[in-house]
Amino acid sequence: MSRIAVIPARGGSKGIPKKNLALLQGQPMISYTIHAARQSGLFDGILVSSDDPEILDYAMGCGVLGVQRPAELARDDSPTEPTVLHAMDWWAEAQRSEPEVVCLLQPTSPLRTSRDILDAEKLFTQCGADSLLSVTEKREFHWRVDGGRAIPAWDISHRPRRQKLEPIYVENGAIYITRSPIYREQKNRLGGKMVLYPMPPERSVDIDEPFDLRLAEGLLHSQGIQS
């Protein structure tokens, strides 16, 4: 089946200025996602969607396609789905064909590897899924606050061992694989038959604040990962 990868990388960022070009081990953060997508060998096209000329120039220098994102899709409050649909339209016009599957790879997940992408695609295909999302498993003692009171989500009179807690799965933002009709008809990256692709915590860092950048730097160094 025909597949494209879409890497959304706008120029603005509140937590970290020019976040997508922030350096990790001397390389722009976005380079790790571009490298993983290219190394997977899965895609008919890899599209970096950005409003920032510097990001677009860098992406095309890496051998992938640059898609000029309209300003109205690059605001702080702009959702991701319209950006993916814009990239799909760009590809369909250029290639005169609609991709069957779209893989959304956010550049803020630089520790995701090409092996993750390949394994996620294999799971997606084997399960006959319509959409897939990457997650990390957590077993934690959750609480909520109601009217100023702390409310446990577990029985405090019989505190279980952490290993006995029911696992929950949290989106890590690294990989979304979606059949094109889901985007077209539902305007959503998720829909139809959904499956989860679990990833370990050390590859699930989603960079939003300077602390996340330092954490990713340390993990990349300890794992010997290069872009």
- Positions marked active-site: 159
DSSP of the chain, one letter per residue? --EEEEEE--S--SSSTTGGG-EETTEEHHHHHHHHHHHHT--SEEEEEES-HHHHHHHHHTTSEEEE--GGGSSTT--SHHHHHHHHHHHHHHHSS--SEEEE--TT-TT--HHHHHHHHHHHHHTT-SEEEEEEEE----EEEETTEEEESS-GGGPPPGGGSPPEEEEEEEEEEEEHHHHHHHSSS--SSEEEEE--GGG-----SHHHHHHHHHHHHHHT---
Query: How far is Cα 59 from Cα 131, in angstroms, rounded to an integer?
Result: 26
Reported as half-sphere exposure (CB side, CA atoms, 13 A), residue 129 has a value of: 23
Amino acid identity, position 64: V
Assigned token pair, 160? 């279980």
Cα separation, 192 vs 179, whole angstroms: 9
